[in-house]
Amino acid sequence: MRVPDAAKAHTEAGAIEFAKFVVNQADLAYVNVDDSVIKTLSGPSCEGCDVTIKGVADQKAAGERQVAPSLTILATNVLPSQNPDAYDVQVQVRSEKVDIVDTKGKTVNSTQAGKGVYRVATRWDGKQWTVADMGVE
């Protein structure tokens, strides 16, 4: 995993780029059936991260995977913060319908198309951004 340079900056703009990276990585976790990036990025009590990790594990146990990324980032918004080590970033996305297939390539389900907003609570741990929590609003 390589965090983009823009997402490493200890600035509001860095937190925004990190939040976008996290949302994309959560989507890719279902494509690659690999939760390791989310585990690496998550803070010690990120319940939303745990939901993603469990979802990927359940998919892996069922022998299923999402065939392609489903999310496109449309816009971001940072909620007001007086703390330069903590930004809550709203990431607006469009989701496309993407097939979920089994080990034989048979479609067993699909993601839903639509628009949504993820909220990613970013926290600076002294060296890098981590995810304190994330979820769909």
Spans of all domains in the chain: 5-136
Provide the pLDDT for residue 99.
Answer: 98
Top CATH class of 5-136 equals alpha beta
CA of residue 70 relative to chain centroid, distance: 12
Q: Which of 74, 76, 82 is nearest to 14 (CA)?
A: 76
- Asked whether the predicted pLDDT for residue 1 surpasses 80, the reply is no
Helices and strands, counts by H and E, the chain: 3, 7
- Percentage of the chain modeled with pLDDT above 70: 100
Residues 6 or more apart whose CB falls under 8 angstroms from that of 2 comprise none
Digit-coded pLDDT (tens) for 107-119:
999 999 999 999 9
For 23, 54, 90, 102, 137, the CA distances from 60, given in Å and listed in that order, are 20, 10, 29, 10, 26
Q: Residues 54-97: pLDDT tens digits?
A: 999 999 999 999 999 999 999 999 999 999 999 999 999 999 99
pTM exceeds 0.85, yes or no: yes
pLDDT average, residue stretch 16-23: 98
Reported as type and span, the H/E element at residue 127 is none
Rounded-to-integer distance, Cα 68 and Cα 25, Å: 12
Q: 18-22, 43-47, 120-124: which has the minimum mean pLDDT?
A: 43-47
User: Which pLDDT band holds residue 45 (cuts at 50, 70, 90)?
Assistant: very high
